[in-house]
Structure 1
Amino acid sequence: MSVDTARRVYATVTGPTAIFTTLEGVDEPFSATAGEDIRQVIVQRAAAEARHAASAVELVTFGDHGEHRILVDSDGGIRRVKSAELVIDVRGVIEASEGKEVGTQAQEQEALGPSEAPAPEPLASPATRRSFIEEADASALGRGGRALLARMGLGPSRAQAERLAAERLVSQHWAGCRSAAVVNGKGGVGKTMTTAMLAAVFARHGGGNVLAWDNNDTRGTLGWRTEQGLYDTTVRDLLPAASQLLAPTAEISGIARFVHHQRVDRYDVLRSNPELLATHQRIARTEFDTLMSVAARYYRLVFFDSGNDESAERWLRMVDSSYQLVVPTLAAPEPAESAALLLDALRERDERSRDLADSAIVVVTESEPSRPAAAESIADGFRGTVREVLRIPFDPALKSGPLRFDVLRRTTQDAWLRVAAAVASGF
Structure 2
Amino acid sequence: MSTETTATWPRVEAVIKDDGTGEVSIGGTVHQIRTGSLPDARTAVISLVAQTADKLGRRVRASMSDPDGDWPLIIHADGTVEPDETAEAKPRQRPEASTEPEPGEKPAEEVSSPEPKTEAESEASSSPVDQDTAHQAPGWVRSAEQQAETAATVTSYPSRRERRQSFLTQEQAEEPATKGWRGSFTRMGIRMSPNEAERAERADVQAVSQHWPGPRTIAIVNGKGGAGKTPSTALLAAVFARYGGAGVLTWDNNQTRGTLGWRTEQGPHEATLLELLPQVERLLSTGAQSADLAHYVHHQTRDRFDVLRSKPMELASAQRVDAEDVGSIHQVASKYYRLIFIDSGNDESDPMWRRMIDHTDQLVVATTTRDDHAEAGALLLEALAERDERSARLAEQAVVIVNQADPKAHASDLTRVATGYRDLAREAITIPHDPAMVDGVLRYGSLRPATQRAWLAAGAAVARGL
Shorter-chain TM-score: which interval?
0.5 to 0.7
Measured after TM superposition, the shift of residue 385 of structure 1 is: 1.7
Letter in 2 for 1:394: H
Measured after TM superposition, the shift of residue 299 of structure 1 is: 0.3
Structure 2: distance between partners of 1:206 and 1:157:
24
In 2, are the aligned partners of 1:283 and 1:313 still within 8 Å (CA)?
no
Structure 1: distance between partners of 2:171 and 2:364:
35
Task: Specify whether residues 148 and 128 from structure 1 end up closer, same or farther in structure 2 by C-alpha distance, changes over 3 A only.
Answer: farther
Structure 1: distance between partners of 2:176 and 2:295:
37
- 1:277 paired to 2:315: yes
RMSD value, Cα: 2.4
1:404 — aligned with what?
443
Counterpart mapping for 1:212-361 below 5 A: 212-361=250-399
Letter in 2 for 1:216: N
- 1:170 paired to 2:208: yes
In 2, are the aligned partners of 1:364 and 1:391 still within 8 Å (CA)?
yes
Letter in 2 for 1:196: A
Task: Specify whether residues 283 and 154 from structure 1 end up closer, same or farther in structure 2 by C-alpha distance, changes over 3 A only.
Answer: same
Deviation digits for residues 155-177 of structure 1, max 9, x if unmatched?
A: 22111110110001100101110
Which of residues 373, 391, 397 in structure 1 aligns to 2:430?
Answer: 391
In 2, are the aligned partners of 1:170 and 1:201 still within 8 Å (CA)?
yes
Structure 1: distance between partners of 2:172 and 2:268:
38
Structure 1: distance between partners of 2:429 and 2:395:
16
In 1, are the aligned partners of 2:175 and 2:193 still within 8 Å (CA)?
no
Measured after TM superposition, the shift of residue 369 of structure 1 is: 3.0
Which of residues 403, 421, 433 in structure 2 aligns to 1:382?
Answer: 421
Task: Specify whether residues 160 and 287 from structure 1 end up closer, same or farther in structure 2 by C-alpha distance, changes over 3 A only.
Answer: same
Deviates more, 1:345-354 or 1:364-373: 364-373
- Where does the alignment leave 5 or more consecutive residues of structure 1 unmatched? 1-126
Structure 2: distance between partners of 1:187 and 1:181:
15
In 1, are the aligned partners of 2:241 and 2:303 still within 8 Å (CA)?
yes
Task: Specify whether residues 384 and 286 from structure 1 end up closer, same or farther in structure 2 by C-alpha distance, changes over 3 A only.
Answer: same
State the TM-score, normalizing by the size of structure 1. Answer: 0.66
Letter in 1 for 2:395: A
| Greater Rg over alpha carbons, structure | 2
State the TM-score, normalizing by the size of structure 2. Answer: 0.60
Task: Specify whether residues 139 and 319 from structure 1 end up closer, same or farther in structure 2 by C-alpha distance, changes over 3 A only.
Answer: farther
In 1, are the aligned partners of 2:378 and 2:424 still within 8 Å (CA)?
no
Task: Specify whether residues 141 and 245 from structure 1 end up closer, same or farther in structure 2 by C-alpha distance, changes over 3 A only.
Answer: farther
- 1:204 paired to 2:257: no
Measured after TM superposition, the shift of residue 136 of structure 1 is: 8.2
Counterpart mapping for 1:55-94 below 5 A: none
SS at match of 2:442: coil
Structure 1: distance between partners of 2:408 and 2:170:
50
Measured after TM superposition, the shift of residue 287 of structure 1 is: 1.5
Q: Percent same amino acid at aligned positions?
A: 48
Deviation digits for residues 25-49 of structure 1, max 9, x if unmatched?
A: xxxxxxxxxxxxxxxxxxxxxxxxx
SS at match of 1:364: strand
In 1, are the aligned partners of 2:177 and 2:195 still within 8 Å (CA)?
no
Measured after TM superposition, the shift of residue 194 of structure 1 is: 0.1
Letter in 2 for 1:384: D
- 1:415 paired to 2:454: yes
Structure 2: distance between partners of 1:411 and 1:259:
31
Measured after TM superposition, the shift of residue 289 of structure 1 is: 1.1
Measured after TM superposition, the shift of residue 153 of structure 1 is: 10
Structure 2: distance between partners of 1:128 and 1:321:
46
Measured after TM superposition, the shift of residue 129 of structure 1 is: 7.5
In 2, are the aligned partners of 1:139 and 1:164 still within 8 Å (CA)?
no
Measured after TM superposition, the shift of residue 317 of structure 1 is: 0.8
Structure 1: distance between partners of 2:394 and 2:283:
30
2:227 — aligned with what?
189
Measured after TM superposition, the shift of residue 134 of structure 1 is: 5.9
Structure 2: distance between partners of 1:175 and 1:350:
26
In 2, are the aligned partners of 1:361 and 1:422 still within 8 Å (CA)?
yes
Deviates more, 1:370-379 or 1:288-297: 370-379
Which of residues 182, 187, 197 in structure 2 aligns to 1:159?
Answer: 197
Counterpart mapping for 1:32-111 below 5 A: none
State how many pairs are aligned.
297
Task: Specify whether residues 203 and 136 from structure 1 end up closer, same or farther in structure 2 by C-alpha distance, changes over 3 A only.
Answer: farther
